[in-house]
Amino acid sequence: MRITAHITTTASIVTLIGCLGFAPGIASADEGADIAKGKELSFNRKKGNCLACHQIEGGSLAGNIGPPLVAMKARFPDYDKLRAQISDARTNNPNTIMIPFGPHAVLSGSEIDLVTKFIYTL
């Protein structure tokens, strides 16, 4: 009886983990690579250059003009709004000093996607 209870409990835990989406998937490796590329772009002084204005964990010589980039999922529960903010912050605040990365072609659409994926993890 003891062995049966153990097997049943183990099977229940495995099923629960699978239902909650904690099972590793093939996309997770691609997602990790995209996040790494996004971080590289964000820290690149000739591309995203987020560190010129924002404090970001792991970055050096961070600026303090913009807010620290922390708790981004709480601040931007809607991923698409964060992407829009990174692409062109003037949409929400016409007086912003943030560079309109998309309209000024500083970053391509795919580069904005990568930066957004990284920033959303902070």
Please give the DSSP secondary-structure letter assigned to residue 68. P
Domain ranges of the chain: 26-120
Confidence (pLDDT) at 28:
77
CA distances from 50 to 11, 30, 34, 100, 103 (A): 46, 23, 17, 12, 17
Span 26-120: which CATH code? 1.10.760.10
pTM of the predicted model as reported, rounded to 2 decimal places:
0.74
Confidence (pLDDT) at 84:
97
Let me know: does 69 contact 54? Beta carbons within 8 Å. yes
Tokens of 16: 């629960």
Per-residue pLDDT for the chain (122 aa), expressed as one digit of tens each? Answer: 555 444 555 555 545 445 444 444 455 788 899 999 999 999 999 988 999 999 999 988 888 999 999 999 999 999 999 999 999 999 999 999 999 999 999 999 999 999 999 999 99
